[in-house]
Structure 1
Amino acid sequence: MAEKEKPDLVHQNAIHVETIKKEQRLQKLHTEFSINPFKKLHILPDKPMSRKPTEEIVDDFIKAFHKAREVPTEKYSTPLTESQEIGWISTPLIPSSRHDERLNFSRKSTDVTRHQELTDMIPLSTVY
């Protein structure tokens, strides 16, 4: 098998020049820049000790802000989506009462629980 000869420096340089020319044809130089409208900007507040007067916020903006932060049941009279229908009416169907035994399961004492309470009070060294 004949050994492959390496291209000499002239040929390597010609290949390198051709590669650079092809890359430069596809590259585009950007000189004008603008802010991406889809990226959120983080506005930093002023320094706490600065003497700059604070800007007055319009009442309409404050009302719109509070309206946007409301719970959907307060914003709309009916649910807008299927997933909002689940849990739209969040008030309990039966008024809660501590004396209603259907919903309140208070602790009850039986002979089994009394036995367990007694064994908990006895030290382990006397049992074994």
Structure 2
Amino acid sequence: MIEKLNSNQLLAGVAGLLALGIFFQAMGLPSFGSKEASLECQGNVRSQQSTSKDDLAKLLQVEIGNSKEAVRKLLKEPYCVLPKTSLRTGTPTEREVYRIASDALEKATSQTYVVVSYESNQYQGYRFWIR
């Protein structure tokens, strides 16, 4: 016999599904509506270029609205540049990809990148991308 679910069981089930969705998003797996399933670099790819975890920790302290030059001074040259997009209506968004330096074990299993966004040469934030 099938028992009816009470509200607590239903709430627990929904919370579990939400947790799975957040987990898959954090792991960088493409969602059904995702347009950015792979890095589509434009121009030169600097395959030897990587950013240290110490520099990444400093990036986390940079405030939104700081200049692109300030972020570039911290992170140096990007691994590559993604095509411009528009996150807000009418405002072009530039995105630069920085490969995060990792140890041998991580290199064998996956590669982690941080995508830094700018609007009007002002830092707008970052997002991790794991491949």
Fold similarity call, TM over 0.5? no
Highest CA radius of gyration, 1 or 2? 1
* Higher relative contact order (Cα pairs below 8 Å, separated by 6+ residues): 2
Give 1 or 2: higher strand fraction: 2
> When the two structures are superposed, what TM-score results if normalisation uses the length of structure 1?
0.20
